[in-house]
Amino acid sequence: MSQALIRDCDPAFEVLEPEVAAAPVVFNSPHSGRIYPRSFLGQVRLDLSALRRSEDTDVDVLFAGVVERGMPLLCAHFPRSMVDANREPYELDPRMFEGRLPTFANTRSMRVAGGLGTVPRVVGEAQEIYGRRLPVDEALARIESFYKPYHRALRRLVAGCHRAFGEALLVDCHSMPSSAPMREDRPRADIVIGDRYGTSCAPAVSDAIEEVLRRQGYHVLRNKPYAGGFITEHYGQPQSGIHAVQIEINRAIYMNERTYERTAGFARLRDDLMVLADALARLPLERGGDFRVAAE
């Protein structure tokens, strides 16, 4: 991988930490990155507007107010279409690359099959990102330079929170296209809470989020169509006092999905999310409980 890729996206992510930690909650926005290195753009067949379809536009801005409330926020600057931090470290599609992948790479996951591995093959409505295969070394270098440092920072924040408070809640923040798949007999969700079907956090966490959001007038669903990705599943260890939950926000609420510009709903949503953050800061977390096996 050219050093230009690293140089053009430096820093690769940002850790926003409060002067004084006030609550055992960490916020994370792994898909809000919108710095597209020139060297990456030179490798792809799509234009920038198409690449941005996988971006959680402005989600980091929506949650930025948590820092002044005493809770840290980690946000990516690198784009999801280049490397996806919400995957296993080596979920890779061998059809994308010239050369042999490491034997430990997961080449058979459902996400890989769908073109959405650690180095994605598609964006949007299954649009192919690349016109030719990439060298295997390119994928491995992206993982070393972007993915692994990001997760080191996330582990540090969660572990520090757990040490300081004896418990921790990781809130993984995302957005979803308004055309996201839903069952035809269900109304379109404004927000989807993902807790891996009750296994990644105590029931009180998801209950509190749903209660606050419904009180604010949002239509809320749980786990369908998004139950939480690698981050929610990997970091959520409620029996050990570490809880993780994913929040997916319908982009139509706050942005124009064609132009990527904020709409009048942005300010209201931002304020409502800060009410939610305050509620989570006051939430007494619990260990143990009835954690059912997640359905895939």
* Beta carbons within 8 Å of 55's beta carbon, 6+ residues apart: 31, 32, 33, 34, 79, 80, 81, 260
Q: What's the confidence (pLDDT) of residue 10?
A: 81
Taking alpha carbons only, the member of 62, 67, 51 closest to residue 262 is 62
Q: Where are the domains of the chain?
A: 3-78+141-281
Q: What's the confidence (pLDDT) of residue 6?
A: 57
Q: Which amino acid is at 1?
A: M
Question: Contact, 199 vs 293, CB < 8 A?
Answer: yes
CA distance between the termini of the chain: 35
CA 164 – CA 172 distance, rounded (Å) = 20
Q: What's the confidence (pLDDT) of residue 291?
A: 34
What are the distances in angstroms from CA 227 to CA 196, 198, 223, 231, 294? 5, 9, 4, 11, 9
Q: What's the confidence (pLDDT) of residue 281?
A: 97
Question: Contact, 245 vs 173, CB < 8 A?
Answer: no
- Positive or negative: CA dihedral 158, 112, 139, 14: negative
What's 3-78+141-281's CATH class? Answer: alpha beta
Q: What's the confidence (pLDDT) of residue 180?
A: 60
Per DSSP, what are the bridge partners of residue 15? 74
State the average pLDDT for the chain. 92
What are the distances in angstroms from CA 138 to CA 26, 29, 49, 84? 31, 24, 23, 14
Q: What's the confidence (pLDDT) of residue 125?
A: 85
Residues of the chain with pLDDT under 70: 1-7, 180-187, 286-296
Q: What's the confidence (pLDDT) of residue 292?
A: 37
